[in-house]
Amino acid sequence: MARGKIAIIGSGLIGGSWAMIFVSRGYTVSVFDIDEKQLTAAKKNIPESLKRFESQGNLRGTLPVDEQIKLITFTNDLAECIKDAIYVQECVPEKLELKRKVFEDLDKLCTDEMILASSSSCIGSSQFNSGLKNAKNILIVHPVNPPYFVPLVEIIPSDQTDPEIVAKTRQLMEEVEQAPITLKKEISGFALNRIQYAILNECWHMVQSGLLSAEDIDRVMVNGLGMRYAFIGPLETMHLNAEGIVNYCDRYAASALKVSETFKPPPLYDIPTSKKLNEYFSQYIPLDKMDERRQWRDECLAKLAKLKKEIPK
């Protein structure tokens, strides 16, 4: 796909991140919002973030920061935003009726070739594409926060999405150096949240039963599994932990099944356990220190992203 114009609908956290990702590879970006205050804030915050990333050595792409900033424009006119765009990334709040309204508006204004992607975290596009004449152009492209440093994007077509639109979207994501995965069809939670909830459910059971403290549970991931998962996934881990996957299954399938048979059904995130966890975390990270901690998290992820680029695969 030749460099072209990208339209971003919604200038909040995710819209701003997408804008910065696309300009890093030389795309022009038009950002639209219905809220003037949000648009004014984005006009200030996006260039400031890009300059901060540059000063920290974390700017993506090879274009100088001022060139990247110049590629972004802001508008309160949806038609102007998507005019001549090759790709539209919707980033409005996660409410079905809002997604439906935005895609109805886009459907009236878009061309036949325009890709219409939604950043939705859990609403599949089949929930808002019915009756739209361009339903074949609509799909979910779900990023992970903060998208500038965590490259995974989940591409989820509906049963109406044209396979060519899916292929072009994946190619575009590769080109802007995100890491796309493509689901064959919609499924509740997509891939990331299904895996995340499987982990969270077992963590919850362990706290609920008093088996482990919150501190020790998070340690399992931060100092154990997470260390290697940043570089090799769970399946490659199986492969490397034996002489290949078949050998792993020979050795460990029976014991893995024995452990898995002790798993409980999914827990309700109950109030007593949530209070117990909240007590621990509020002491460790009080509410007035949350932003500081989020910034620290993003800085760690930026350093990890840089390290992963430096290490040959």
- Residues binding ligand NAD (CB under 6 A): 9-15, 32-35, 38, 91-94, 98, 102, 119-121, 142-143, 145
Least separation, in Å, of the C-beta of 17 and ligand NAD? 8
Which residue, 103 or 248, has its beta carbon nearer to ligand NAD? 103
Least separation, in Å, of the C-beta of 144 and ligand NAD? 6
Least separation, in Å, of the C-beta of 258 and ligand NAD? 37
Which residue, 9 or 65, has its beta carbon nearer to ligand NAD? 9
Cβ-closest residue to ligand NAD? 12
Which residue, 78 or 207, has its beta carbon nearer to ligand NAD? 78
Least separation, in Å, of the C-beta of 86 and ligand NAD? 19
CA 306 centroid distance within chain: 18
Which residue, 33 or 186, has its beta carbon nearer to ligand NAD? 33
Which residue, 3 or 108, has its beta carbon nearer to ligand NAD? 108
Least separation, in Å, of the C-beta of 219 and ligand NAD? 24
